[in-house]
Structure 1
């Protein structure tokens, strides 16, 4: 599929509601369990998505679209959610995610991005030059990846309990 901003917005605008439908009102065991050492729980993933909304996608888009000479991105802290989510519950995180995502979609739409804008570049700290199109496609794919990650983390809680059906459940193998 070729990149299309409107198709990306279809996904980006739905992600908070998909995650809310999956996580709101379920037990702590589902929310707080991860896949083992150095892995994230669904709670952690929502915190990570919020941090990205506040510091990554729109901030980097603004850098790319700016007239500034320096188009370098600040490195993204992939673990900031552990501190930022302290003292919050999942309902608070889900509400915060919906709010910041709605604001960011409004900002994104307000830019009236055209084909020329999509070719503009910023400087990623690890990858070097990246285009606005690549950034926006990554934002969309990042959402889908974390939705899949949440489902995988939750599914793995029943790895042993499914018994012989495990062989038919590839989600348990990754």
Structure 2
């Protein structure tokens, strides 16, 4: 039986908050401005993180309720909620990101060890336990946070 590693519980509770520091000093117009043609803006990366949290919560629930459910590959471009959320204000997106994560992490850190052993199948990575899914979720989020860091740096250079 798995215990939730502290490396996961800590990142689950706090990693996403780094986006606040990453965009500090940028205007709403700047975070919505595409830096590279055909690539997501800072805002679209944030919306993706915010929207995918809801997908991930649904997947966790499915793993708890079903025996090894199979999940399709998630693509934001095919998700109408992603497009709808891109029309929201930055404040609304950030509020949902923070509130949803607070609720999600508060629940997950109290999961029983047998819940953490439950599995779901990812189309590329195969059968994974809930602990592995949490690592996947957090690493995916970290990738987008790193992307936001790079984009924000480029936007800040444009101001100078």
Q: Is the 8 A contact 1:16 1:94 kept in 2?
A: no
Shift of 1:22: 3.1
Residue in structure 2 matched with residue 31 of structure 1 by the alignment: 31
Instruction: Give the TM-score, by structure 2 length.
Output: 0.79
- Provide the aligned length of Structure 1 versus Structure 2: 156
Deviation string for 1:98-137 (max 9, x for gaps)? 111111112212323x2x5444321223433222222111
Structure 1 Cα separation of the partners of residues 128 and 15 of structure 2: 24
Instruction: Give the TM-score, by structure 1 length.
Output: 0.73
Shift of 1:78: 2.2
Shift of 1:161: 8.7
Looking at both structures, which has the greater relative contact order when contacts are Cα pairs under 8 Å and sequence separation is at least 6? Answer: 2
Aligned ranges 1:38-77 → 2 under 5 Å: 38-56=38-56, 58-66=57-65, 68-69=66-67, 71-77=69-75
> Per the alignment, do residues 142 and 103 of structure 1 end up closer, same or farther by CA in structure 2, a change over 3 Å counting?
same
Residue in structure 1 matched with residue 103 of structure 2 by the alignment: 103
Shift of 1:4: 5.2
Q: Is the 8 A contact 1:24 1:91 kept in 2?
A: no
Structure 1 Cα separation of the partners of residues 28 and 46 of structure 2: 14
Structure 2: gaps of 5 or more residues: none
Aligned mate of 1:131, from 112, 129, 144 = 129
> Per the alignment, do residues 86 and 122 of structure 1 end up closer, same or farther by CA in structure 2, a change over 3 Å counting?
closer
Structure 1 Cα separation of the partners of residues 25 and 155 of structure 2: 18
Structure 1 Cα separation of the partners of residues 85 and 139 of structure 2: 23
